[in-house]
Structure 1
Amino acid sequence: MIIEGTVLRGPEFDPVEGRVVVEDGAITAIEEESVDSSDIVVPAFVNAHTHIGDSIAKEAGAGLSLDELVAPPDGLKHRLLRAASREEKVEAMRRSIRMMERTGTASFLEFREGGVEGVYALREAAEGLDVDPVILGRETVEAMEAADGFGASGARDGEFSRERNATAREGKIFGIHAGERDPTDINPALDLDPDFLVHVVHPEPLHLDRIEDSEIPVAVCPRSNLVTGVGVPPIRDLHERTTVALGTDNVMLNSPSMFREMEFAAKLADVSARDVLAMATRNGAQIAGLDCGVLAEGRPGKLLVLDGDSDNLAGAQDVVRAVVRRAGAGDVSDVVL
């Protein structure tokens, strides 16, 4: 497979005119050369935090607080999940995954409710699609054992040392929500030595120092935080201390669109377009232990192609900035996953 256009090459997304050659699922060459195509070739996205089970309840719960919406065990989302049939949940999740596939998301890190059965339901929803979920089971050690790791709701909801130790013994990923409502659960979360934190909307200087010293990545979800009224994460402060990745969080609240998350983050935070693109691609891949998110020889051939001559993108003076701040689903001309 040969794709021509402006290629955002390497970890710094340097725009070069030329072609990408993909053979047997891997990039075998990036050839810098004059070509006729106006397409823009971008690494596929990695969505660093999702709850796609919530696909059964899009835009439910308007006006409710964060706890009323999502707090276990009786937040609205949990009641709706318990009331829905397995078939309804699988079909709703599959539709969200299909949207991710069409818009160039190669993988997503899912905090999966429903124990072992919830893990199996998500695997069924993703079957036959080209998006590879990284599933973090919740609620039980058994769910972690059936999944790719454990996703903890937060230190305010439990102690989680048993689950953390079991996850470490399995050599799997342990993530935990922290600092979403206030700073009180950040230190207890850091004490668990997680592989990554989610949200961190309210870090204090001590927390930022600990995050930096421990080199713990953070998945931020600014659209979700704004919707739930908890504030917005200090993306620049976090970026200066550690690896930051973007997630779209609950499908109840937001579409799983990395285009929208990038645009929002870029316009919210004082960071460069290249930094935001890294948050949507290689940084999420790093957290998940994946090798995608960068267009380079020998890396997986997971990419999306944007129509650089679309009404939206034509005439862009800065290609990377245009991809991050204005590209959308309507500009996608091809996806290779």
Structure 2
Amino acid sequence: MERTGTILRGRGFEPVEGRIVIDDDGRIEAIEETSVDGSDIILPAFVNAHTHIGDSIAKEAGRGLSLEELVAPPDGLKHRLLRQASRDELVGAMERSLQFMRAGGTAACLDFREGGVEGVEMLEAAADGLEIDALSFARGSIDAMRAGDGFGASGANDAEFGEERAATREAGKPFGIHAGEVDASDIHPALDLEPEFLVHVVHPESDHLERIAEQQVPIAVCPRSNLVTDVGLSPYAELNERTTLALGTDNVMLNSPSMFREMEFLAKLSDLPADEILRMATVNGAEIAGLEYGLVEPGRKARLVVLDGDSHNLAGARDPVRAVVRRAGVDDVREVVLEA
């Protein structure tokens, strides 16, 4: 199997005209530079580094409510709506969000999964047959973490999480935790847990930045969500100078799980270069989750997005990386290749 076009190769996304050869095991066997017909742009499929797709039943609910009123357990609007919904309603809504994500080039999402073991099982049911890696960073119990792919803690001000952290180490699974979303008070306690990654980090102070750099803990940032909930925006350039950033879309209740929209939004409100934002949307999230894709290079799993470079939206673009990050959308997707 092969795909041809302008290939955004390697960690630097160097545009190369040629073909990608995919072997029978669904891995990239070779990238061959050669003149080809057509104007397709080929890039790695996206990894959405932070989602809450369980609230797919509540899209655009809660206008005018604060972050706490929207999502704080146990009585935030989201949790009340989740309790009122049936299992079939929840699974069906999550499945539709996953289908949307897949159509938009997302190969995986790191979902902070409510509902304990049953919540993990519901996400598995929603993802069944969709070829998307919907990873459960389970919340609520150690048993849920063991059933899922890791543990996703709400925040260090909510509980100590020491037992859960120890259990993830024993299980060999990653531990992620929200930190610094509303204020800085939970950042140091979160870092004390030595997590595999933090989420948000909107309000770091200088001592937090020093610890983040020292510990080299990656951060999943969610710009659109932070704007919608009015908590502020992370200091993206300062964080990027100190550690690895990945990109997430957060609650489906508040935002469509579109990595195209998230990239464009971040590109136009920050000074981060386009290639850095594309790494945040692909390989950086993949490496947090231990996935074998996220880049177009030999040996990687062939999880790719093929864009129509001659679409009305992309035709004439002089810089394919900037065009992908700042301009492209789901309507430009010709094919999503999820071979392995």
TM-score (norm 2): 0.98
Distance in 1, matches of 2:323 and 2:7, equals 14
Q: Residue 221 of structure 1 corresponds to which residue in structure 2?
A: 222
Distance in 2, matches of 1:62 and 1:236, equals 31
For residues 1-337 of structure 1, the aligned pairs below 5 Å read: 1-23=1-23, 24-337=25-338
Q: Deviations over 1:114-145 (max 9, x none)?
A: 01100000000000111011211101111111
Distance in 2, matches of 1:272 and 1:208, equals 21
TM-score (norm 1): 0.99
| Displacement of 1:301 | 0.4
| Displacement of 1:207 | 0.5
Unaligned runs of 5+ in 1: none
Distance in 1, matches of 2:290 and 2:278, equals 18
Distance in 2, matches of 1:106 and 1:244, equals 18
| Displacement of 1:65 | 0.2
| Displacement of 1:331 | 0.2
| Displacement of 1:281 | 0.1
Aligned-residue sequence identity (percent) comes to 68
Q: Deviations over 1:305-327 (max 9, x none)?
A: 00000110000011100000000
Q: Deviations over 1:84-109 (max 9, x none)?
A: 00000000000000011111111110
Distance in 2, matches of 1:57 and 1:193, equals 33
1:182 partner amino acid = D
Distance in 2, matches of 1:72 and 1:326, equals 37
| Displacement of 1:168 | 1.0
Q: Deviations over 1:26-55 (max 9, x none)?
A: 001111011111000010000000000010
Query: What secondary structure sits across from 1:107 in the alignment?
Result: strand
1:15 partner amino acid = P
CA RMSD of aligned residues (A): 0.6
Query: What secondary structure sits across from 2:90 in the alignment?
Result: helix
| Displacement of 1:236 | 0.8
Unaligned runs of 5+ in 2: none
Query: What secondary structure sits across from 1:292 in the alignment?
Result: coil
| Displacement of 1:284 | 0.3
| Displacement of 1:227 | 0.3
Query: What secondary structure sits across from 1:165 in the alignment?
Result: helix
Distance in 2, matches of 1:11 and 1:107, equals 18
1:126 partner amino acid = A
| Displacement of 1:271 | 1.0
Which consecutive aligned stretches of 4+ in structure 1 deviate over 6 angstroms post-superposition?
none
Query: What secondary structure sits across from 1:8 in the alignment?
Result: strand
| Displacement of 1:259 | 0.3
1:236 partner amino acid = A
Query: What secondary structure sits across from 1:254 in the alignment?
Result: coil
Q: Deviations over 1:163-220 (max 9, x none)?
A: 1111111110100000000000000100111000000000001101101100100000
Distance in 1, matches of 2:115 and 2:257, equals 20
Query: What secondary structure sits across from 1:49 in the alignment?
Result: strand
